[in-house]
Structure 1
Amino acid sequence: MFRVTVRDHIMIAHSFRGEVFGPAQQLHGATFVVDATFHRPDLDADNIVVDIGLATEHLNAALADLNYRNLDDVEEFAGTNTSTEFLAKVIADRLAAAVAAGSLGPGASGLSAVEVTLHESHVASASYQRDL
């Protein structure tokens, strides 16, 4: 399996509901380093996994409306704990939609999966991988 990863970051604020979250039940900020990894079993006709420039642009676009936002105020997430795992899925789904729409170029039709990892710090991260 071949993989290409592109990286960006977002800065958000949010709070959680539930005792399991302890002090994170209060409004707090987070800066996530976001990796999007594109998988495919074989290289395309140009011997690449995906156009890195387009992948980078679409990762940035998938993050744009989250960056510098209080996610508690985003209607789409009303009543939802916007955990790191949850956000990884949201971003992966957005990238999968871009692949399905052909926005990552014709070679992207051979992609088999996309995986998004949000790094909370140098010691903790969460990922979500979905088939395409």
Structure 2
Amino acid sequence: MFSITVRDHLMVAHSFHGEVFGPAQRLHGATFLVDATFRRPELDADNIVVDIGLATRQLGEVVGDLTYRNLDDEPAFAGVNTSTEFLAKVIADRLAERVRAGALGAGAQGLTGLTVTLHESHVAWASYERDL
């Protein structure tokens, strides 16, 4: 299996519901490094996994739709704990929609999987992996 990974970052404000979150139940900020890894079993006709420039641009646009926002105020996330794991899935699903729509080029149709990892710090991160 071949893969490439592109990186961006995300800065949000949010709060959580539930005792398990302790002080994070209060409004707080979070900054994440965001890695998107695209996978395929065979390279395309150009011997690449996917156009790295297009992958970088699409990740930036997806992350840009979320960054500098208080996620508690976003209707799409009303009543939802926007945990690191949850946000990884949101970003992966939005990237998958862009792959299907052709935003990563025709060669991206050969992609078979995508993993999005959000790094909360240098010692903690969460990922969501999905098929394409």
Q: TM-score, normalised by structure 2?
A: 0.99
Output the CA distance in 1 between the equivalents of 2:116 and 2:77. Answer: 19
Aligned length: 132
- 1:64 deviation in Å? 1.1
Aligned position for 1:33: 33
- 1:65 deviation in Å? 1.7
Aligned position for 1:46: 46
Q: Secondary structure at the match of 1:95?
A: helix
Aligned position for 2:8: 8
Output the CA distance in 2 between the equivalents of 1:90 and 1:10. Answer: 13
- 1:97 deviation in Å? 0.3
Letter in 2 for 1:108: A
Matches within 5 A, 1:81-120: 81-120=81-120
- 1:24 deviation in Å? 0.5
Q: Render the CA deviation track for 1:5-52: whole Å, top value 9, x for unaligned.
A: 000001100000000001100111010000000000000000000000
Aligned position for 1:72: 72
Matches within 5 A, 1:12-23: 12-23=12-23
Flag structure 1 segments of 5+ consecutive residues without an equivalent. Answer: none
Q: Secondary structure at the match of 1:21?
A: helix
Letter in 2 for 1:117: T
Output the CA distance in 1 between the equivalents of 2:11 and 2:63. Answer: 10
Flag structure 2 segments of 5+ consecutive residues without an equivalent. Answer: none
Letter in 2 for 1:110: G
Q: Render the CA deviation track for 1:65-108: whole Å, top value 9, x for unaligned.
A: 21011100001000000000000000000000000011100110
- 1:129 deviation in Å? 0.7
Runs of 4+ in 1 over 3 A off after TM superposition: none
Output the CA distance in 2 between the equivalents of 1:91 and 1:61. Answer: 10
What percent identity do the matched residue pairs reach?
Answer: 75
Output the CA distance in 2 between the equivalents of 1:100 and 1:10. Answer: 23
